[in-house]
Structure 1
């Protein structure tokens, strides 16, 4: 007869059920990926700053815009796949990552103009935009103010005014881990590595009042737009995401299951598939 002690010992060697072994995807913050190697990277003199950027692949251009406090490396899981079919352009927004900033206050109009400046520098007449969080806001800003330069906008986890953001999101455990990680990355990449807190304070002042678009401004957008978010986003209120999609004429609404504000890291295959599907649809 097998003793109870042996049975208990054997059970400890069995793998735990998946539900016990790891938290739900939407609670995870997977490691920041790295971008593929490319010979087409460097700094562009744009709008009074030096804007770091990189280009991958060939074909119709697609600009990937990262979220606030982050950097272009966060798109490292999407770029290799999308660059098989498109020319992918990534950049570090002003003051983020490897890019510099000047003394002007942060603002979405200013950062959207930086994107236009980079397109001019690269001699790209128009491009599709895939944006996450602040990057999604920049995509919508471009559709409002520079519609002739944007072919499509995939706006993930964006908001059109500060009321769309969850109060106290910075205290959410997943989001707090992101803020701490972003600080380490800032110190590793920035030309001003010891100024992360000043950087956060400056960005926070922008977040407190911007963007501030009216329903009428959103209704004037004619660029094909897909408004997307994770079904467990800790930062953006679901009703606000639905409002955005309903306010932009012809916009689609995509809610990615089992993921949060960091869906592109938590389930990159799902996220990238939807990006490619959207980009492949007729404009």
Structure 2
């Protein structure tokens, strides 16, 4: 009886360990970023925006998601800096960048990045955006297509109902919010104002984005839409709708990955980007 009980407990422990090992349920630590070739605080609109550059070649701009910072892209910077000019930045109010009293909005944040590209004297870039960064990429494709070679948007939504209602109760997503808060305290010029910052950006999330099928139908820039098959935040059928409405858009499902695919499966994520650049 005792041996049977031990065997049962061992089996249960192994099952629990196996379940905990599913990579889409984990939030890996933000990886270290290589030393930058150049970095600084660019004066854009009514803020100062942190940016960093790496490598040489065709330019790629990586834009992080809400509450985060450029530090999420360490794996991608290390890979793509080998053969591209890589630019990362902290969106307004995020990371090292400042914010103002002006209400957050995707058009405003997009104009920040357009101003950054002008500041860096970059004509056109491949834009890789995650979550809010992907939304900014789609916004730029609509408003400033002349700045883009292509957009690769992961886990983006174009209406508020594209977000899952239970996202804030998901443990992995909650872990990210906590990690972002700790990072904010270390990086921000206003380290004690995380709650005020979250309140400001949450006001944007409550009503934006709000684009129509007609809006999406006007996009002429090549677009790749990627989403993890276990995304906690964005609905798969919403992403499928986006791929249907954006002319020529390609949909990529990232296997065994969630909203945080760039951290969970960097090799697969980077291969997705390279395939998009190659037109595959």
| TM-score of the superposed pair, with normalisation by structure 2 | 0.93
Partner of residue 65, structure 1: 63
Aligned mates of 1:209, 1:157 — CA distance in 2: 18
Aligned mates of 1:83, 1:277 — CA distance in 2: 16
- What runs of 5+ residues in structure 1 fail to find an aligned partner? none
Determine helix, strand or coil for the equivalent of 1:104: coil
Indicate which of 173, 176, 187 corresponds to 1:175. Answer: 173
- Could you list the per-position Cα deviations for residues 224-281 of structure 1 after superposition, in whole angstroms to 9, with x for gaps in the alignment? 0001100000000111010011110000000011110001101110001111111123
Structure label with greater radius of gyration: 1
How well do the aligned residues superpose, as a CA RMSD in angstroms? Answer: 1.9
Partner of residue 74, structure 1: 72
Partner of residue 108, structure 2: 110
Matches within 5 A, 1:78-227: 78-227=76-225
Give yes or no for contact 2:52–2:89 (8 Å, CA) kept in 1: yes
- Could you list the per-position Cα deviations for residues 201-238 of structure 1 after superposition, in whole angstroms to 9, with x for gaps in the alignment? 11111001001101001010010000110000000011
- What runs of 5+ residues in structure 2 fail to find an aligned partner? none
1:194 deviates by 0.5
Partner of residue 259, structure 1: 257
Determine helix, strand or coil for the equivalent of 2:141: helix
Indicate which of 225, 228, 250 corresponds to 2:226. Answer: 228
Give yes or no for contact 2:37–2:55 (8 Å, CA) kept in 1: no
- Could you list the per-position Cα deviations for residues 93-137 of structure 1 after superposition, in whole angstroms to 9, with x for gaps in the alignment? 000000001110000000000001000000001111000000000
- Could you list the per-position Cα deviations for residues 37-90 of structure 1 after superposition, in whole angstroms to 9, with x for gaps in the alignment? 013011101111110000111111110000000000000011111111211100
Indicate which of 23, 30, 33 corresponds to 1:32. Answer: 30
The 1:21/1:206 distance shift into structure 2, 3 A limit, reads closer
- Could you list the per-position Cα deviations for residues 145-177 of structure 1 after superposition, in whole angstroms to 9, with x for gaps in the alignment? 001111100000000010100113111111011
Aligned mates of 1:18, 1:269 — CA distance in 2: 27
Partner of residue 18, structure 2: 20
Aligned mates of 2:245, 2:33 — CA distance in 1: 35
Give yes or no for contact 1:82–1:276 (8 Å, CA) kept in 2: no
Determine helix, strand or coil for the equivalent of 1:209: coil
Give yes or no for contact 1:77–1:268 (8 Å, CA) kept in 2: yes
Q: Work out the number of aligned pairs and report it.
A: 273
1:19 deviates by 6.5
1:23 deviates by 2.2
Determine helix, strand or coil for the equivalent of 1:100: coil
Aligned mates of 1:119, 1:184 — CA distance in 2: 29
